[in-house]
Structure 1
Amino acid sequence: MYLTELVALINRKDKRPVRTWCKKNNVTIFKDCSGEFVYRNDFELAYDLPLILNLKSKYGNDWEQYYQAYLQNTLHKIIDFKSDSKKQTSYKPKGSISKKLFKDNINEIA
């Protein structure tokens, strides 16, 4: 990808801030007779790295599933699936008063 293409992708005005962004994010800029460019995979990894780190901290080993869903615009499907599995673990009352209150709340919901 040429630096002129990156200007719009990272919302900058010209190539100078793009060079700074690339340097800050460890994306190597190459030069040839046609101009300055970066490898697409290097750019996409650097661009998505904050998202990947966030997904790793939230979802642990399942982060790759969430990342793939994010890339395919199907994140809503996987979040619904995971939220159903979280509903299965519920509060278990320990005292007699809380058990009574918990049973009353279940009867109201049902």
Structure 2
Amino acid sequence: MLPMNLIILIIITVCLLMISVSLMISKKKINDRMKLSPFECGFTPSSSPRLPFSIQFFMISIVFLIFDIEISIILPLITSFQVCNKPAWILTVSIFMIILILGILYEWHQTLLNWNM
């Protein structure tokens, strides 16, 4: 059995050796400027790489997201019609539909549904 001091020394030596080999292998060349640029094809960029974001696409995605959430809420309500209390079910669905209609009227009033900007 090796003494504890010798085991610790071996572990530290192996760790330092691995770190130094890793640093030597991973050195990047400073003069390789084209590879460090965002465009590696060799052309210099003529315009900004970031294009302006269209708010219309964002609004369409939000409308579809809201539509998907509505469908995921309405479908279980339809299937639960057979087993639920009828007046409570009608009240729940009516309140939900009123909230949806008020939301779309608010979007329409704020001209958020105008796609011809």
State the TM-score, normalized to the length of structure 1: 0.33
Larger radius of gyration: 2
Flag the structure with higher helix content: 1
Flag the structure with higher strand content: 1
State the TM-score, normalized to the length of structure 2: 0.31
